[in-house]
Chain A
């Protein structure tokens, strides 16, 4: 019965085989961005060094020449020389970008296509991270002191610095600090020090009875609190990527 069905379907819809299909395709290309001066011996020497450092990365890589920062040198001659030199180095140059008015037939003769304001540069190495770290370094630390008990359901955040609580921290309350946390009272809630990854941050409290303690993302819950520190005046710190708790005398 199932075979009959299959036959019917085949009969009802005659198969049409298209000779081709059109699909969008994205590919990643390297852009070599020329900086100001025309390529000279120093340029090729630097390029060779770069290629030697990471040969796999560049071998047979599709390459676009980007003249955004060097509009003056995008002449047909220069492009031809450069393309030849790069192709000798096994770089597959296939396009030019930001070259301004260039002789189109000449480009085609070289097997290059003009690439029009498409694509986007990947961010330079650590651009964003470096900028953010720079800003953070410029801002002064912003330590926070709380002089009232921290109640259940409250969250106290010290985004850039230490957090000191003069009073107790109730179960269900939460302390978060990028630096150290000091509690002059009983810590019954959660405390997260080194919230931005500072492994040197510590937690100090007059009496440790926490639901959760964490430093730089490594945490322990009340069930795994060190028994020698529980209920005592204690400090918590990271050592060899392990959370250590010790009672303070």
Chain B
């Protein structure tokens, strides 16, 4: 495990995990990426923007520890420190859960700005888990982003929705609206990649997807039982036992921090003894 200590000041990078389409793996990816970043030593917080459909806390395995939430903080009913939940496995990883009883209208641009500004003082990476769609919740999740991870499945409707979201990222964000600032750095994360289905022509190839989206590739996550299992037991994939999916996420996380990692397409194989012993060192 590459452990590296970060010195002050924090990076304060806001990364939105978005997709447009639902069910492609945004929350799973947000959990895996934030845990991966924390494992690398970055102080990381992950925020659930899916107001009313609170899921991130379950994927992170902290649903029973939620007292105050994002909306309470925005409305001034709680302080940010009270709402942040520190992960039990990694102490530099925090979760800001959302409300299950409210809806997206409870989010305000000013409120989100205030919370993010405060988080930037303390954290290296602020991961915003966007809801599906392109409505208010998704718009506010992406508005303040410095970087975007667009989660896409290799099939036409997901790719088209991702394309739409990429269009919004280049027009409906603070960076897009501020003269002279760099555009949001968007990368595509291809999830549920199934080599056999692609070979059978049932899914789009990586090349097809990248040709349409025309943004850099952050990583390819194979379709894997490990992802499902990890979600069900409330553990980010990157903190669960090693699998093809967890290695792919770790590569993607390393690329997100600026490292050059060779792209490899992992197939789903049951890790044997050899892999259990040496698979992680790669």
Contact = CB atoms under 8 A, between A and B. Distances in A.
Interface of A: 148-154, 167-168, 170-173, 186, 188
Contacts of B167: 150-154, 173
Nearest to B161: A152
A148 B163 contact: no
A2 B170 CA distance: 74
Nearest to A154: B167
B164 interface: yes
Contacts of B212: 168, 170, 188
Given A153-B163, A171-B163, 14 more contacts: A148-B170, A150-B167, A151-B166, A151-B167, A152-B160, A154-B167, A167-B214, A168-B212, A168-B214, A170-B212, A172-B160, A172-B163, A173-B167, A186-B211
A145 to B, nearest CB: 16
A80 B160 CA distance: 77
Contacts of B161: 152
Contacts of B160: 152, 170-172
Contacts of B168: 153
A149 B169 CA distance: 13
The B interface is mostly helix, strand or loop, or mixed, namely: helix
12 contacts: A149-B214, A150-B167, A152-B160, A153-B164, A153-B167, A168-B211, A170-B212, A171-B160, A172-B160, A172-B164, A186-B211, A188-B212
B179 to A, nearest CB: 17
Contacts, number: 34
Interface residues of B, number: 12
Contacts of A148: 170
Nearest to A185: B214
A150 B170 CA distance: 10
A154 B166 CA distance: 10
Q: Is the interface of A mostly helix, strand, loop or mixed?
A: loop
Contacts of B211: 168, 186
Nearest to B162: A152
Contacts of A171: 160, 163
A157 to B, nearest CB: 14
A22 B153 CA distance: 73
Contacts of A186: 211
B176 to A, nearest CB: 11
- Residue among B171, B211, B214 with max Cβ neighbours from chain A (10 Å): B214
Nearest to A168: B214
Interface in B201-257: 211-212, 214
A39 B171 CA distance: 67
B156 to A, nearest CB: 8
A152 B170 contact: no
Nearest to A167: B214
Contacts of A170: 160, 163, 212
Contacts of A153: 163-164, 167-168
B163 A152 contact: yes
B222 to A, nearest CB: 26
A171 B170 CA distance: 17
A153 B168 CA distance: 9
Nearest to B165: A151
Contacts of B214: 149, 167-168
Contacts of B164: 151-153, 172
8 closest cross-chain pairs (CB), A and B: A151-B167, A152-B163, A152-B164, A153-B164, A170-B163, A149-B214, A154-B167, A151-B163
Nearest to A188: B212
Nearest to B171: A154
A148 B168 CA distance: 13
A207 to B, nearest CB: 10
A188 B211 CA distance: 12
Interface string B167-194: 1101100000000000000000000000
Nearest to B169: A151
A19 to B, nearest CB: 66
Contacts of A172: 160, 163-164
Interface string B5-36: 00000000000000000000000000000000
